[in-house]
Amino acid sequence: MSALFERFQVRLAERAAQDLIRTRRIASSPTAPRQVIDGVEKLLFCSNDYLGLADHPALVQALQEGAERYGVGSGASHLISGHSEAHEALEAELARWARDCIPDARAITLCTGYMANLALLTGLGDREDAQIFSERLNHASLIDGARLARAQKSVYTELGELEAQLRASTAATKLIVSDAVFSMDGHLAPLRELLALAEAHDALLLVDDAHGFGVLGPRGRGSLAHCGLRSERLVWMGTLGKAAGVAGAFIAAHPSLIEWLLQTARPTIFTTASPPALAHALLKSLELIEGEEGERRRDQLELLRAHLVEGLAPLAAAHGWQLPHSDTPIQPLIVGENAAALALSARLDARGLRVPAIRPPTVAVGTARLRITLCADHQSDDIDTLIRALQP
Ligand SMILES: *Cc1c(COP(=O)(O)O)cnc(C)c1O
């Protein structure tokens, strides 16, 4: 074997020694709480399909309808010929949702949330006279976006530290960047306080609502509405492959920022637009999220969450696991060491459940965990099954 490959083999072996090797499993049935994984039906507590829309018959039908009407591929980027009437309608609808919190908001859609965050941070942080203030727990896509941006960067862990950084900054454009719901922890960022700091220091507040969109707030409008925020300084990013059940992402903000991104952000200019049929299906998804069906599903999630915490608390206390407070369908069970988290996940797997172990670098060293996520299609019995399986 050439030394070229050997180097990677050695590095992979190092990872294996640290219990850091990840594997992909093969799903062969639709995304749902019960899914056939590697040929065996498992009870899943790991997808981000919080509302259970990923296999909703109305969305499957809408996607088929979209394919009939627009075909399969978009053929080009949005700026060339890939921007369909379905994309346009979806953006108009998302802008309408955003206007609850951002006056006159305009929205654009992108292929994925990862790309949306690269677009946001490279687009708004494109010059050295900008500064990005990034929360330590932010998602990898925000971290990567900051790495690619020319702006100065600082990382904060709490509000006092952020305030000091803002006060010391002479940057012409200040961008405070935070997950709304921390994806591996489930708790909400202090959005109200962050907005107050943005106002006091003439900054923009960029909020990644990947896990709040569809789940939190009135009619599922997300974290900004949940916190009752309203300001033209808000930049709202959300993903459409989690609670919305399909794929893609959007950015909503003041029209001048959106036009700037449209003109300059490379992750949207240099990529083929997502299939129009997806945008068509997403319009249906927004309708479901906003309506009675969405309400019913959000109510069910709340019941499940309370049931889960009630069952987990005594177990966590008995084993010395941490059970941080969560406002959302994401409930971490922090075990500590990588090997311990892997062993627990393996035990659940042997008992027919899939709850993956989350390890560094996704979370801090020494905080390996099970990240338990709920779906509105789970039943109370499923929670009982999980609690039982966690017992030795
Ligand atoms: C999942 C996620 C993303 C990326 O979104 P995709 O559409 O899956 O690319 C961005 N930010 C956060 C906080 C996420 O959890």
Residue-wise pLDDT for 125-153, tens only, equals: 999 999 999 999 999 999 999 999 999 99
Q: What is the pLDDT of residues 26-47, one digit of tens each?
A: 999 999 999 999 999 999 999 9
Distance of CA 128 to the CA centre of its chain: 28
- Can 242 be counted among the known catalytic residues? yes
Helix (H, G, I), strand (E, B) or coil at 371: strand
Domain 26-55+292-390 classified CATH 3.40.50.720? no
State in Å: Cα 351 to ligand 1 middle. Answer: 30
Task: Please identify, by atom number, the ligand 1 atom nearest to the C-alpha of residue 182.
Answer: 13
Domain boundaries, the chain: 26-55+292-390, 57-290
- Whether 324 and 187 have beta carbons less than 8 Å apart is answered as yes
Average pLDDT over residues 330-356: 95
CATH code of 57-290, in short, is 3.40.640.10
**What is the H or E stretch that residue 383 is in?**
helix 380-390
User: Is 50 known as a binding-site position?
Assistant: no
Distant-in-sequence, close-in-space partners of 253: CB < 8 Å, separation ≥ 6: 98, 102, 105, 106, 234, 235, 236
Could you tell me if 133 and 174 are in contact, meaning their C-beta atoms sit under 8 angstroms apart?
A: yes
* Nearest by Cα to 120 from 270, 260, 241: 260
Mutation test residue for ligand 1: of 183, 184, 207, the one with most atoms within 8 Å of CB: 183
Residues having CB closer than 6 A to ligand 1 are: 112-114, 117, 139, 141, 179, 183, 208, 210-211, 239, 241, 249
Digit-coded pLDDT (tens) for 56-72: 999 999 999 999 999 99
End-to-end CA distance of the chain: 45
Confirm whether residue 239 is marked as ligand binding: yes
Plot region of 344 (φ>0 → left; ψ -120 to 50 → alpha; else → beta): alpha
What pLDDT was estimated at residue 214?
98
Locate the ligand 1 atom nearest the alpha carbon of residue 249 and give its number: 7
Q: What is the pTM of this model?
A: 0.96
Active site residue 211: yes
In ligand 1, the atom with minimum distance to the C-alpha of 181 is 13
Question: Is residue 20 pLDDT above 90, yes or no?
Answer: no
